[in-house]
Amino acid sequence: MAPVTASTYDIDKAAGLLRAGRLVALPTETVYGLGANAEDAAAVTRVFQAKGRPPSHPLIVHIGGAELLGEWVEEVPATARLLAERFWPGPLTLVLRRAPRVPLEATGGLETVAVRVPGHPVALALLAAFGGGVVAPSANRFGSVSPTTAEHVRAELGDVVDFVLDGGPCDVGVESTIVDVTGDTPSVLRPGGVTREDLEAVLGRPVAVPSTSHVRVPGQHPSHYAPEARVVLVEPEKVVVEAELAQEQGHKVGVLLPPSSGDGPAAVHAVVPVPGSMADYARSLYGFLREFDQRGCDLVVASLPPEEGLGLAIANRLRRAAGPRDSG
């Protein structure tokens, strides 16, 4: 793991603010989170207010180590323990029955809680200095593009955040994988930085990725991870044609150009080539979407990558970005 890049002074300052019920943006390996003391119901409520997030949407509780899981959940089944030992610290969130110390404000009123150990040295140093759990949804307005740098947080939330703890750019770039382990059969509720293939290799059995779930978790809103520009998804071979047509119709078009599409459209507002590596694509996706907004695009044409490995998480985020804009 990379060395801690934030100063001890900044980490101690952030921990003190959390104890005082204030909001601190912190880096994780996935995205920057808007942090608050997980046991302070008033502070948790301020997170929802700052983001404009519906209070029924659960938050993830970040803890400092797998050995602490039993303090935050009712029980730790063998499957949860196995996944925690293998993937923590890292981009995996486990959904389990909540322990009494977790307020219902943090769970959206549910009797389950989402928990993870972040794989970022600054986040872990902050959790150690704070000595408790921290709820930390992405540090952006509800439904919009998640931040992967401290600058993204400052630009979007400004003075709503009491302190931004800068840990550099996020390494993974898409949110954690959320796995429901409350029953006998684990299932992926949100694809993310740990792939389905990784999970299956550890568990030795297939893992379901249902398209819908009765369990409420972060990132399930129909429109989520969305830039200001409208996102349109087409087949990879149609990206260039659709982009040029939209430009001719008067749109300022941005294009996420698949590797197989050659030089791309000749006359559109902005073209961003998609990396050939899914890890690089995941790391850069939210930055790409923000770039289109910064360059004044009102329409983004993109295609879905193959839905295997990290491609499944990228496809999930692009579908949410292209979702309906009538709410959220």
The total number of residues written for the chain in this structure: 328
pLDDT of residue 328: 35
62 in Cβ contact with 39 (< 8 Å):
no
pLDDT of residue 280: 98
Other C-beta atoms closer than 10 Å to the C-beta of 20 total 11
DSSP string for residues in 137-174: -BSSSTTBPPP-SHHHHHHHHGGGSSEE----S-SS-S
pLDDT at 327 over 50: no
The model's pLDDT over 140-186, given as tens digits with 9 standing for 90+, comes to 999 999 999 999 999 999 999 999 999 999 999 999 999 999 998 99
- Among residues of the chain, what percentage have pLDDT more than 90? 88
Distance, in Å, from the CA atom of 277 to the CA atom of 283, rounded to the nearest integer, reads 10
Which residues are CB-neighbours of 109 under 8 A, at least 6 positions away? 55, 56
316 in Cβ contact with 190 (< 8 Å):
yes
Which residues are CB-neighbours of 129 under 8 A, at least 6 positions away? 11, 12, 14, 15
- Among residues of the chain, what percentage have pLDDT more than 70? 94
User: Binning pLDDT at 50, 70 and 90, where does residue 5 land?
Assistant: confident
